[in-house]
Amino acid sequence: MGGSVDLVELRGLDPDRDQQLFREAYDWIFVAPKWLRQAENIVAGINGCDSWEGYLKAAQDPKEVNIGLFGESMEALFTIQNEGDGCFQVHVNAKPHGRRIHRAHLQGWTAPTGEMIAAAIQLRDTLFAQGANEIFGFIAERNRPLRRFADLAGFNFSGVSIFKGSMRDRPVRWLRYCALREGHA
């Protein structure tokens, strides 16, 4: 990684109280490259988030926790969904071309920054400390920057993949990345 990690803050977000921040994160999707927007549409359809209202409703689900990463402004939103039995699914949405994130846009442009990786590791370790056995997420095979981010944050390709949706008339292969609590296989 190299260099120092800038001071950032992780803060839980409430979808009612912090609606403007959720709107900001939702809008980040629309400035992403076309191939990523197409992939996001697949995810949105699966999760019922294919509109602003659906996105906000999903954020209000009691099984979902939303954590904002803040520097001078919100730089990323981590959405953590409790799947039961100590298993959590995580989604990451990062600010495009932000001052800190311009070299780290997790949605497909370049490599992740130190503060983004540190935040993901902190969240991972906090979930494990609170009893999580597994944390996972699906990443479009084409999204190499997010796959690199997952690797650096201690998530590994599990060997499981699914084909869901299409981009540019080609099926999308989703790779399952996961982190397991030490001693849990």
Q: What pLDDT, in 10s, does the model give residues 118-152?
A: 889 999 999 999 999 999 999 888 888 889 889 99
Structure tokens at 20: 């403007």
In a domain, 27, yes or no: yes
Mean pLDDT across the chain: 79
In a domain, 20, yes or no: yes
Considering its fold, how many domains does the chain have in total?
1
In a domain, 75, yes or no: yes
pTM of the model: 0.79
In a domain, 4, yes or no: no
pLDDT band at 73 (very low <50, low <70, confident <90, very high): confident
Helix axes 52-59, 34-47, angle to 10 degrees: 60
Tell me whether residue 75 is exposed, middle or buried, using C-beta atoms within 10 angstroms of its C-beta: 0 to 12, 13 to 18, 19 or more. buried
In a domain, 48, yes or no: yes
In a domain, 63, yes or no: yes
Task: Report the Cα 94 to chain-centroid distance in Å.
Answer: 8
Query: Is the pLDDT assigned to residue 22 strictly greater than 80?
Result: yes
In a domain, 173, yes or no: yes
The contacts of residue 174 (CB under 8 Å, 6+ apart) are 138, 139, 140, 141, 161, 162, 163, 164
pLDDT digits (tens, 9 = 90+) for 84-98: 999 999 988 888 754
In a domain, 3, yes or no: no
What's 169's domain CATH number? 3.40.630.30
Residue 45's domain comprises 9-180
